[in-house]
Amino acid sequence: MHLAENYALTAGVKISKPQIETLFYPLPFKNYITIQCSSGMVSKNFDYYNDVIRLIKPYLIENNIEVVQIGLKNDPKMSNVYSLLGKTNIRQVAYVIKNANLHLGNDSFACHFAGHFNIPLVALYGPAVKETCKPYWGDEDKQILLSPDNKKEKPSYSAEERVKRVNSISTFEICSSVLKLLSIKNNFNDYIQTYIGESFYINAVDIVPNFKPVNSRNPELENLSIANLRLDYLDNLTYLDDWLSSRLCNVYINSEKYLDYIIKYKNNIKQIHITLNMDISNQFVEKIHTLNKPVLFYANNNKLLPDIRIKFFEVDVLSLDSKQENYLDICDDICDNYFQSSLKLYSNYKIYPCKAYLNIDQTISKQQKVIDCDDFYKEMVFFKIYKLCQQQNQLK
């Protein structure tokens, strides 16, 4: 039973279509879709809308269609959209949605506006069954309502979830649904999403400081508020002083040889990540603690984890083990899959999608094959893995 019907039955009243008064809001274009990536419940919020917009943007540009983000002032701002965050009242939002080509978003009031005005709608549902809270009005053939497979895991009806169910909805399916309702031909049905990491929505940048810090050559590196320096990947220390002296850093180390650098530039170091092994001494750990910096300790191998925890008994040691067996059920042959990475790894002026690709000196490309190795699995939280039904197709 729909929630509106349940409320009406409880209150003993009939359901009638409401009258919604809109208020004009000027936009500098005529054709656009609206998107709302927030709602009143964290568990409803899909985290990968930026990837969806990135994928459909070329199709929208070809058809002169813009993307307008609606919502509150403090909502997360999306990339490559026209933002109305905090600029409209609810009547103006109603006007913007009423005149849109389509609305895309989580289960929220904006979806009900789209249904009321009979605007094409792609809505995402996670913690609740979509049939109970979908828009009560609107033609069903103009609405595509997406939700996880409830046969695998039942809805939680919770405001917060440890692992958000809504995030398991395929970004390719969302893209295909949006473009289908806009009558735009596409090939997203040829892509099957087999896995998406919980940090795929985060644009992470790691740096192996084996090259001179650049100036105008790379604005992305210049604009980093904090540089993640992977000293644990570093062989040549030539440029290490240049990096540590020029900016605020998080450092990742796996050896005592970096201690003098850390002490020298401690005022520029925000956080220290140490991968422990049996060759590292307790005296080194004690010296690190005297710097009064946040420190995280890791073990690279679960087999050594008990011994490392005994040796470094006074610190909390986390596991970095890849747990490869947990990912082997992604598909029959994981190496037939491709992946996209939200991680960029800079080394020697080149950009890699992960440590595994750095190892083979293969830089970022449009189609990246999965590699069956420990270094790949360790960074899977930043990956989206997918299969191609037709090998000749490529993402735009």
For the chain, domains (ranges, CATH) are: 3-186 (3.40.50.2000), 195-396 (no CATH)
* Residue 335 scores a pLDDT above 80: no
The pLDDT value given to residue 217: 66
DSSP state of 212: P
Mean pLDDT estimate for the chain: 91
Coil vs helix vs strand at 251: strand
Assign 58 a pLDDT band (cuts: 50, 70, 90). Answer: very high
The pLDDT value given to residue 329: 54
> How large is the average pLDDT for residues 173-187?
97
Entry pTM: 0.88
Structure tokens given for 332: 């029959």
Q: Which helix (H) or strand (E) holds 293?
A: none
How many other C-beta atoms can be found within 10 angstroms of the C-beta atom of residue 305? 18
* Residue 83 scores a pLDDT above 50: yes
Please write the tens of the pLDDT for every residue from 348-387: 999 999 999 999 999 999 889 999 888 999 899 999 999 9
Q: Print burial letters for 97-124: b (CB count within 10 Å at least 16), e (below 16).
A: bbbbbbbbbbbbebbbbbbbbebbbbbb
Please write the tens of the pLDDT for every residue from 218-276: 778 888 889 999 999 998 899 999 999 989 999 999 999 999 999 999 999 999 999 99
> How large is the average pLDDT for residues 196-204?
94
Q: Which helix (H) or strand (E) holds 253?
A: strand 249-253
Structure tokens given for 244: 């540590």
* Residue 202 scores a pLDDT above 60: yes
In this structure, the dihedral spanned by the alpha carbons of residues 17, 22, 26 and 29, taken in order and rounded to 10 degrees, is 10
Cα gap 224→247, rounded to integer Å: 9
Alpha helices in the chain (DSSP H): 3-11, 49-62, 90-98, 109-116, 130-133, 171-181, 219-222, 240-246, 259-264, 282-289, 305-311, 355-359, 374-378
> How large is the average pLDDT for residues 274-296?
95
* Residue 131 scores a pLDDT above 80: yes
The pLDDT value given to residue 390: 64
Contact assessment for residue 390 and residue 52, using Cβ atoms and an 8 Å cutoff: no
Structure tokens given for 255: 């050896």
Q: HEC states along 192-219?
A: EEEEECCCCCCCEEEEECCCCCCCCCCH
- Residue 108: closest CA among 121, 120, 92, 95: 121
The pLDDT value given to residue 219: 79
Question: Backbone phi, then psi, for 194, in 5-degree steps?
Answer: -105, -20
Which amino acid type is present at position 26?
P
* Residue 104 scores a pLDDT above 80: yes
* Residue 396 scores a pLDDT above 70: no
Cα gap 14→110, rounded to integer Å: 23
Max Cα distance, the chain (Å): 78
